[in-house]
A and B are shown apart, each in its own frame.
Chain A
C-alpha cells in the first residue's frame, strides 16, 4: 500500500502538470491517475491494490483540508461584501441548478432522496477554469467577470448549506434545530477567537496546530449533529479567516493539502471509477450532464438579468458558471459514503460526475469566448 501511494502521488503530479500545460485543470490529471492505479488498469496488470481503508481515510482527510482551505480563502469578508446582485444571482443559480438535478432524478425514476442527492451534486461551481478563460480574454475586471467571481464565492457557501439541509439526518424539525445549534457553536467560536486575538500565548506554531485541530473538531461536531463533515470543515475555515495568522495558516494548509492529502482524494475518486458502470449509465449520463449545464446557464442568466445585465452578458455569466470540479466530487463521495445510492447506481453517478467535470471544463472556455462580448459589458451602467 505504501508503494501504491508513492507511485500514485508521483504520477498525479506528472499528469496534473501535463493537464495544466494543456490548459486543463490539474484535477483531471489526478483523477486519471486514480483510474490508472485503480483496480481496472494497474490492478489487473501489476496486481496493485490502491483502494483500501487507509487510502480512503487519507482521501477523507483530503476532503476536510480542501473544504477548510475553501472556507479560509473565501473568508467572512468576501461573503459580507458580496452585495445584492451577487446574492440574488447566487440564489437563482443555486435553486435552479438544484431543481434541475432533482428533476433529472425524477425523470429517471429515482426516489426523492436520490433525486435530491443528484441535485446537490449540481450546485457548486468551480470557477478556476472560468477565471483562466476570463484572464485570456482580458475580461476578469469586467462586470461579467466580477459577478461570476462573486457568485462563485456565494455558490460554495450556499452549496454547503443546501447539502447540510438536504442530507442532514433526522426529522425536519429536529434537523433545523441541529443546524441552529451548529450555527450557535459557530458564532460562539467566532466570538471566542475574536476575544482571544489580543491574548498573546507564547507557544510556537500554536495557530497552525489549532487550525488543523479545529478543522477536524468542527467536522466531528457537524457529523455528531447529523450534518456532513465538510460543513464543519468549511465553517472552521471561515472562523480562522478572521485571524491575523490567516496568510500563514493558508500557506501551510495549501502546502500540506496540495502536495499530499488533496491529490490522494482525487486519486481515490479516480480509483473508484468502475468501468463496468459505463455500460448501464447511458440514460443517466444523457440527462445528467445536459441538466447540470442547463441548470447553471438558466439559473445564473436569470439572476443576472433580474440584476439589470443585458441578455448576452447574463448568458455569459451563466456559461461562466458551468464548470464543476472539486466540490461536486466531494459531494458525490459523501453521498456514496452515506449509501444514498445503491452500489450500481453509486458507480454510475460517480462516473457521470467525473464526465461532467471533464465535459464542463472542456466546453466552458470556447463557449464563453463565443458568448461574451466585452463592449456591451463595458457600456452597461449597472
Chain B
C-alpha cells in the first residue's frame, strides 16, 4: 500500500491561505449565477457537494452558497416547524417555491481572506460548523478551503 507523506501539521497551520491556493482549484470551483434555474443547481449538485453562488455568469462576486444539506431539506417532505416566521420554511421544491439559485442559497457566509493562516481558518470552520470556507478578496471568490482540499495537502497529494 502506498504511504503518503504527512506534512507537519504545525507548519500547515502557520501557512497563509494564499500559499496553498492553486489555479487548478479556481478553474474547478463549482459556481453558478444567482439567477440560474433550480434544475441547473440540482444538476451541478449531482456530482459536487456544494456550489458557490455568484452575482453574474462568468463573474466572481460571491453572494451565497448551496450545500447538499440544503438540497436534502428541499427534496424531503416539507415539514413546517411549530412557530412559522418569514418565508424561510415556505421554500420548497415540492410546492414550486424554489425556482432559482437565489431562492435557496445562504447569503450570510463564513469567509476567509488569502492572508489569514490556515490554522485560523480551520478553527473558524470548526466553531461555525462549516466544512467549506470561501477565500474572498474584495468580495470576489479566489478559491475555497475544504476538508478534502486540506486532506490532500496534508497527505502530500498537492
Contact = CB atoms under 8 A, between A and B. Distances in A.
A244 B109 contact: yes
Given A135-B78, A244-B111, A153 B86 contact: yes
A128 B97 contact: no
Interface stretch (A45-53, A65-73, A218-226, A331-339): A65-73
10 contacts: A27-B83, A73-B85, A78-B87, A135-B94, A141-B99, A145-B97, A200-B124, A205-B127, A244-B111, A245-B110
Interface of B: 78, 80-90, 92, 94-97, 99, 106-111, 116, 120, 123-124, 127-129
A149 interface: yes
Contacts of A132: 80
Contacts, number: 83
A78 B99 CA distance: 17
A243 B83 contact: no
A326 B108 contact: no
Contacts of B109: 244
B140 to A, nearest CB: 15
A156 interface: yes
Interface string A71-88: 001110110000000000
Given A131-B84, A243-B108, A244-B110, 17 more contacts: A74-B86, A78-B86, A128-B84, A135-B95, A140-B92, A140-B95, A141-B96, A141-B97, A156-B85, A200-B116, A202-B123, A244-B111, A244-B128, A245-B128, A247-B108, A258-B81, A326-B83
Contacts of A145: 97
A262 B83 CA distance: 10
Interface in A308-334: 326
Contact of A128 (B83, B92, B106, B107): B83
Contacts of B123: 202
Contacts of B83: 27, 66, 69-70, 128, 257-258, 262, 326
Contacts of A138: 95-96
A50 B123 CA distance: 45
A77 B94 CA distance: 24
A245 B95 contact: no
Contacts of A75: 86
A341 B115 CA distance: 61
* Most A C-beta atoms less than 10 A away, residue of B96, B108, B111: B108
B63 to A, nearest CB: 11
**B78, B84, B97 pick with most chain A CB within 10 angstroms:** B84
A242 B108 contact: yes
Interface centre among B80, B92, B124, B128 (most CB of A within 10 A): B80
A141 B133 CA distance: 33
Nearest to B110: A244
9 nearest A-B residue pairs (beta carbon): A141-B96, A128-B84, A74-B86, A140-B95, A73-B85, A70-B85, A73-B86, A244-B108, A26-B82
